[in-house]
Amino acid sequence: MNLKRIAIAGTVAAAVVAGGTALAAPASADTTSYAAPYGYWPVLRQGQTSENVRALQWFLSCDGYDQPAPSHFGPKTRANVVAFQQRYLTSFDGNVGAQTWRALLTHAAPTGYGQKNNCVKALQVLLNKWRYSDDLPITGYHGPRTKQKLIRFQSGHGLPATGTPDLRTYHKLIATASGS
């Protein structure tokens, strides 16, 4: 009889603890790094510094969010990420994982040849992670040099070498460590 009570009490306690944990930590909008069919995306959070953060800032700016691009994920970047998530996603937490990357690249990444905008600056920052002996100036113009470097990147990573980035190209640029 005592073993049965102990087993029931243990089960109830486990359920209460699990339930309490679930209530104490609400589901996060975007700390998951995996999204099919592309695979893993880096998760960016406030406090980080990187070229991916710098590209994120240019993409946010391209979508109309007043955003400096110092490569540091500070409070202003987090506020803009939250505002972006509120606009395009069903939940938000200010982190940039697979869901936010995909939404951002779907809504704020027009970077075709001949265009000049902050999205092209993000593309140029990402391309400069690969030091093919010629860094691109961050001009925001998708001209011959940007197209040439993009084609080189695409062909070197098994992508269609079109000179225009698609979601697969952006995924490789963002998720692959430079030099890989």
For position 142, which CATH number holds? 1.10.101.10
Cβ atoms < 10 Å from Cβ of 47: 10
- Which pLDDT belongs to residue 1? 47
Q: Residues 154, 159, 162, CA angle at the centre, nearest 5°?
A: 65
Q: Is residue 3 part of a domain?
A: no
User: Would residue 151 count as lying in a domain?
Assistant: yes
161 is a domain residue = yes
Domain interval for residue 130: 34-175
150 in any annotated domain: yes
Model pLDDT for residues 84-142, shown as the tens digit of each residue: 999 999 989 999 999 999 999 988 777 789 999 999 999 999 999 887 777 899 999 99
Q: Is the dihedral of CA 121, 122, 126, 129 positive or negative?
A: positive
50 exposure class (CB count in 10 Å sphere: 0-12, 13-18, 19+): middle
Angle at 88 between CA 84 and CA 93, to 5 degrees: 55
Question: The dihedral of CA 148, 151, 153, 155: what is its sign?
Answer: negative
Domain membership of residue 11 (yes or no) is no
Does some domain include residue 163? yes
**42 in helix, strand or coil?**
coil
Give domain status of residue 6, yes or no.
no
**Confidence at 67, pLDDT banded by 50, 70, 90:** confident
pLDDT at 20 over 60: no
What's the mean pLDDT in 152-165? 94
Q: Into how many domains does the chain fold? A: 1
pLDDT above 70 as % of the chain: 81
The top-scoring range by mean pLDDT among 13-17, 79-83, 106-110 is 79-83
Alpha-carbon gap, residue 143 to 120, rounded angstroms: 10
159 touches 169 (CB < 8 A): yes
In this prediction the pTM is 0.80
How many Å apart are CA 63 and CA 149, to the nearest integer? Answer: 24
Q: Is the predicted pLDDT of residue 4 greater than 70, yes or no?
A: no
For the cut 70, the answer to whether the pLDDT of residue 16 exceeds it is: no
Residue 29 lies in a domain: no
